[in-house]
Structure formats: structure tokens, C-alpha cells
A = this chain, B = another copy of it.
């Protein structure tokens, strides 16, 4: 009973603080919410909440501000994901339809998400590891140079230039291509390395060096070089809530420029529809300890192929943000399914 009201007070504090960006006091709280009790009572509750570490005051005798833990409780127990309005849904589908290729889908999605949430949006390209080989193409660029193009069934295309070290001919390349395709076509990328490992043995000894160089590059592409790409949008929105971050915008921008950081940030939901929220110091990434990150996996059906999400100030509209992230993830998943 009393416990319930305390949580209501916490909810009210979070909501007001998110709306106004100013420490909220007991008086304004009772005015804006019909809590049915007096400011003095609220003060007692606040003292208790502060004791529990859920709120804090920036200065003696200023209003209260939620702590990271306070937001945590709010997200876990006091809020629910806010579904998008009809207009927003329509905006999403009209914006995402008409994407011509994977790059385009990624770009449109991430921009859209940034716009919907007015925060920084991040999207990860569909992982190679879960997909299968749709095609592998080898193109002779020069005597010692081959372009390797790998096309996955998710529509993703990987390319790299291979320096063969030894002479390569159109004829040899053609035979190599069909051998590789024999072994790899339709196979999951994770299995490709193993399946092509002995291909070199089918060639003449003097052909093997060049063949091996190509195979090594292929294996590197599918295995070692996970190099999951990420795309970013909405960094301009950082400027708007610049003051919120203790250490200014700089470290945040720096962190966001590092692909590795972004990848760690996106985490690893293993099922779609499970939103992950990391608040403030829960992000172990340096520079982002005063931001919150909301991510979710997306994919075909319930197979997760990658993640997307947003980065914003800890004082963000969690229900709304979570709604937008989830909605965009669903649409992207649907589009991938249709196109695949």
C-alpha cells in the first residue's frame, strides 16, 4: 500500500524529470499528479526512495533526480512499451518501402529510427555467420590480382581484393570458381571454411600458390573477419541534449565513431522482440556511462540476424523509445523476409 505509493512517486518523478529536465520537488509533484496526499507525505516517501538509492538530489535543497537505479526500476516495473500511433506506423512503412538494396534498407531504417526517437540510432548489418552462401564470384583484375565477391542470402555482399602472389589465369580462375561453388553454394557461412579447405589439392602443384591465396582470403572473409558493419544516424541530436552529459558531447561522439564500441554496445539479443535496456553505468563502454542504450534483435521470424537500437541520455522517454525501436525492428525483419 504505502510501498505502492512510493513506486508511484518514483514513476511521477521519472516522468516529470524526463519532461522538464529539472529536478522535481514535492510541491510540483502533487500539483501535476493526483496522488491524493500532501507534499509533506511525498517528502517522506522521497526520503525513503533516496535511502534506497533510487533518486538523489543534485544539491542540498534542490528537487530530486532519478538515479540510474531509479530508471532501472522504472523500466523494469513501472512502465510498459508504448505502441506507436497509427500515423507513425504509416510513416514507417511508407519510408521503408521502396528500398532498393540492403544498404538502402539499412540506411533508411537507421535514419527513421533517429528521427522517431530524436536520438542517435545504430543498426548492425545482418550477420554473415547465420546466413548461407548465395553466390561466390571471382573476377580477374590483373595478373596477380583477383576480386572476390561473396553474396549471402541476406542480401549482404562482401568483397575484397586478393593479391595472389603467383600468376592467375582466366582458365584457372574458372575452374577454381566452380570447385568452390560446388562445395560452398547454399552452405551456411560458418561451414564454408571447412568445406573448401581441401580444394587446393585438386589442382596442379604450380597452380596451388595462387589457389591457396584466394582460398585463404575467402576463409578470412567468412570466418576471421567478422567485421560486422554498423551504420549510424542522428548524431545531430546529440547537440540537443548536450548539457545532460557530465563530460560533454565529445566523449560520446568519440565512442560512437568506434565501430568496435558500437558492436559491443549492441549486445547480443538471441531472440527478436526482447528489448535490452542498458542504463548509465550499466554500459561498460567508456564515454557512454551517462547514456542509455535501447537495443533489440531483428531478423526473419524469430531468427536474429543482427541488432539495432538507439543511444540517448539516461533521462529519455523509455516507453516511447522502446516502442519505436521495437517497431522499426519488426518492419526491418519483415522487409528482409520478403526480399530474401
CB distance from A68 to the nearest CB of B (A): 24
Q: How many A residues touch the partner, as a band?
A: 20 to 34
B160–A159 touching, CB < 8 Å: no
B233–A253 touching, CB < 8 Å: no
Does A139 have its Cβ within 8 Å of any Cβ on chain B? yes
Q: How many copies does the complex hold?
A: 2
How far is it, in angstroms, between the C-alpha of A126 and the C-alpha of B138 when the chains are bound?
Answer: 22
A236 to chain B: which residues have CB within 8 Å? Answer: 250, 253-254, 257
Interface residues of A in 285-308 (CB under 8 A from B): none
Does A269 have its Cβ within 8 Å of any Cβ on chain B? no
Interface residues of A in 223-262 (CB under 8 A from B): 233-236, 238-240, 242, 248-250, 253-254, 257
Interface residues of A in 146-170 (CB under 8 A from B): 147, 149, 151, 155, 157, 159-161
A273 to chain B: which residues have CB within 8 Å? Answer: none
A11 to chain B: which residues have CB within 8 Å? Answer: none
B159–A157 touching, CB < 8 Å: yes
Does A134 have its Cβ within 8 Å of any Cβ on chain B? yes
Residue contacts A-B, CB under 8 angstroms, 13 given = A101-B161, A102-B159, A134-B141, A135-B137, A137-B139, A147-B151, A149-B151, A157-B159, A161-B339, A234-B257, A235-B257, A239-B248, A239-B249
